[in-house]
Structure 1
Amino acid sequence: MSQQGQLMHDLPHRERFQIDGVYLNSAAIHPMSTASADAVKRYLAERLRSGTAVGDAIADERNDAKALFARLINCEAGELAWVGSTMIGENLVLAGLGLPEKGAHIVTDAAHFQGSLYLYQSLQQEGVEVTVLPLQDNEISPERIDQAIRPNTKLVALSQVSALNGFEHDLAAVCAAAHARGVPVYADIIQAAGAVPIDVRASGVDFCACSTYKWLMGDFGVGFLYVRSDHIGALRRPQRGYRQLLSFDTHFLPHESPHDHPVSFVAGADASALFEVGTSGSAAVAALKVSLGYLLETGVATLQAYRRTMVVRLQDALASLGFQALTPYASNGPIVSFALENAMALKPLLDAAGIQIQLYQHRFRVSPSMFNSMDDIEFLVDLLARFVRR
């Protein structure tokens, strides 16, 4: 049996999902598994009946999910804060570092997320100096990042796996170079978490964030921000809310103890006490707890190996058809991209065939996942071959 066949035999992926057609666009939105959907249904059923019981249960779900994600990226739960999205996490890191600051310098690259590039270019209007490194051979080397760092550099910001073309940074090498110059590193891990193995301890990354609706197979509205423990005490608290409190007492109602102030409180000292403000989406947390358990049970490296066979086939077949690859061939990520003038011309053919990939004006992106098979890949290759021959 081939490696692909053995992995399909060992890992029953497809029955965990209800996929319409050939879905090869999980880098955009990953389908939710039936088990996660069932968890959401159970939560909603309880919401129909009561409020208090759900509130008590979801607090445990939230703590359990955070602990599972901590295992997935090898950190402590106290180094994680719930955030609404990846970009909220990135903005919170900047605020915690005191940025924007006139005269400060930030290093990023053209493979970073488009919203992040907008963020950093906008900061230039507030006096921040920004270096955006262009891609060379579809990559950005650690050496080029090191060369871009200056005495006034306050942050290196990047996507561990680029949504643009699937390029994966050597995060440990980037962090080693930046730390040698006293500069922290932020990584957007939304296209990495659940898709490639992550070890924040081994890489040394200072901050990272992700939403959960992509390779973590959760839903919109919840995400994680990781802050390495030795940074927590040094960062500014950019916003305040009840989720940061360990205790809160009033002193103005009948029978309450007197105090110099009408209320007293004790704030926590971990990442959640620094960055969390209000409640996260409870239904999304319920779904996420299930999917994180599956990822840990199965192993991200195992899923990566299964997907790698499909990615290599796409790279080889589409290159032979004349498509210009934008993804480094050795990439182990979940994304493969190709340049194509007027790529939107593919849409009628794809729609008619029931195939979903990501189309842009002059490029397209394919991102297979655990529920895909080599038959899906060959179906897409055949369609693209017909497009070339027409």
Structure 2
Amino acid sequence: METPGPRTGQSPDLDPTLVRSEFAPRTTYLNSASTGLLPARAVTAMHEGALSVAQGRPADMFADVEAARAAFARLVGVPVGRVAAGASVAVYSGLVAAALPEGAEVLTAEGDFSSTVNPFHVRADLKVRAVPLERLAESVRPGTDLVAVSVAQSADGRIADLDALRAAARAHGARVYLDASQATGWMDLGDHVATADFTASVAFKWLTCPRGVAFFVAPEEAEGFGGLRPLLAGWVAGERPWDSCYGPVEELAHSARRFDESPALLAYAGARHSLELIEDLGVAAIGAHDLALADRFRAGLAGLGHEPVPAPGSPVVAVPGLGARQPELSAAGIEVSDRAGNLRVAFHFYNTAADVDRLLAALSG
């Protein structure tokens, strides 16, 4: 006789006891594409860090930055020397934009997230071209210098065909910049980040970190960092930061740390432990769990006569025409988003089958 899975609806490979020990939301929270829930271990670490400052004995939270950087590197499969630590995807989009020559062509997806694409539009001397996401790879052409795209679209969860994009970029000599903000934490990025020229990701969504934490993956020093210039370099970007506090920084870090922003230390104090939890649970188990819940919701929507935006393999489900119901659902204790008229629902590892069924019941009323 087949052994049934956990009654909670969680994947058999996901440790439900560990999940329950870290999260106790007071709502049916289905909005991780906006903000992930903070685990208890991160809240405790931030509280202790804040107290250490209040009591005049500041903890060494720079150690937390390095631990978080190393954890992110492991999660996306790159050497830690390729990872910069900052606070915003837009900052790193701006660094990539600043590295392009005058007249360069940048290919983007229509309706992509502003932090991913707007810094390229700000430079009036660049040629920015937008095409439907489904046509991105086929739209790379001779003369395309860079393709900038989100791995998963914020508005509706659609996933870029990264294999096709990589092949097209190589064929035409274009570089690739990925925004993985809606993918890190649930998606096995395989060698996509390792082979992309540049990748940025915030960590306050699927990685369940506090706001103020973001990571950037750059080429290595041997590759000239892909032509990036450390335009924001302060003392933390020095090879020996504590010897770089005054005057020009004499020696920039020989790693991607030269692209660090001065870190929001309390946020990183929590991020270290959030990323530890993601590693403890495992991205493969998290992804399988998230996608199972999303598929359950899609099946339930079909029974209600609703058709979501096609986004196979995504834990984000966007339902056209239902976005206006977001306030009503929030008042009932179900947290979702209204994005471009769509009801956007995002399932993560702290969600259960019961959460899915509660939302479906509310939508059927």
TM-score by length of 1: 0.84
Q: Which residue of 2 aligns with 1:173?
A: 164
Amino acid of the residue matched to residue 66 of structure 1? R
Unaligned segments of structure 2, at least 5 residues: none
**How far apart in 2 are the matches of 1:378 and 1:233?**
48
Cα drift, residue 292 of structure 1 = 0.9
User: Residue in 2 aligned with 1:276?
Assistant: 260
Deviation, structure 1 residue 308: 1.5
1:197 maps to 2:188: yes
- Residues 29, 5 of structure 1: alpha-carbon distance in 2 compared, 3 angstrom cutoff: closer
User: Which of 127, 130, 137 in structure 2 is aligned with 1:132?
Assistant: 130
Change (3 A) 1:364 1:236: same
Structure 2 equivalent of residue 356 of structure 1: 335
Give me the whole-angstrom Cα distance separating, in 1, the residues matched to 2:335 and 2:157. Answer: 18
How many Å apart are 1:351 and its aligned residue?
Answer: 3.1
After superposition, the C-alpha distances for 1:155-206 in whole angstroms (9 at most, x for unaligned) are 1000001111111223233122202211110000111111212234676111
Q: Is the 8 A contact 1:131 1:148 kept in 2?
A: no
Residue 224 (structure 1) aligned with residue 224 (structure 2): no
Contact 2:239 2:254 survives alignment (8 Å): no
Instruction: Give SS of 1:7's match.
Output: coil
Question: Deviations along 1:29-49, whole A, 9 cap, x unmatched?
Answer: 111011110010111111112
Q: How far apart in 1 are the matches of 2:68 and 2:358? A: 37
The residue aligned with 1:245 is 238
> Which letter does structure 2 place at the counterpart of 1:2?
G
1:313 and 2:306 aligned: no
Distance 1:320 1:339, change over 3 A: same
CA shift at 1:219, angstroms?
1.0
TM-score normalised per structure 2: 0.89
Matched, 1:90 2:69: no
1:304/1:5 Cα in 2 relative to 1: closer, same or farther (>3 Å)? closer
Matches within 5 A, 1:292-303: 292-303=275-286
Residue 236 of structure 1 aligns with an amino acid whose one-letter code is: R
**Paired amino acid for 1:98:** L
Residue matched to 2:21: 15
Task: Pick the structure with greater CA Rg.
Answer: 1
Aligned to 1:257: none
| Alpha-carbon distance in structure 2 between the residues aligned to 1:5 and 1:129 | 46
| Distance in 2 (alpha carbons) for counterparts of 1:37 and 1:210 | 21
Of the three residues 328, 338, 354, the one matched with 2:319 is: 338
**What secondary structure is seen at the aligned counterpart in 2 of 1:71?**
helix
Task: Give yes or no for contact 1:16–1:35 (8 Å, CA) kept in 2.
Answer: yes
Tell me which amino acid in the other structure corresponds to 1:131.
R
User: RMSD across aligned C-alpha pairs, in angstroms?
Assistant: 2.5
Match of 1:28 among 27, 34, 37: 34
Please tell me the residue identity of whatever aligns with 1:276: D
The one-character-per-residue Cα deviations of 1:9-48 (angstroms, maximum 9, x if unpaired) are 7332233113112111111011101111001011111111
The residue identity in structure 2 corresponding to 1:239 is L
| Matched-pair contact (CA < 8 Å) for 1:249–1:265 | no
- Cross-structure match for 1:113: 113
Distance 2:340 2:360 in 1: 20
Structure 1, unmatched stretches of 5+, are 253-261
Instruction: Find the aligned partners of 2:55 and 2:78 in 1 and give their Cα distance.
Output: 37
What amino acid maps onto 1:110 in structure 2? Answer: E
Partner SS, residue 136 of structure 2: helix
2:206 is the alignment partner of 1:215: yes
Deviations 1:278-320, CA, capped at 9 Å, x for gaps: x201111111111111111211110111111110011111133
Cα 1:249–1:314 shift into 2, 3 Å:
closer
The one-letter code of the counterpart of 1:10 is D
Aligned residues: 355
Distance 1:325 1:294, change over 3 A: same
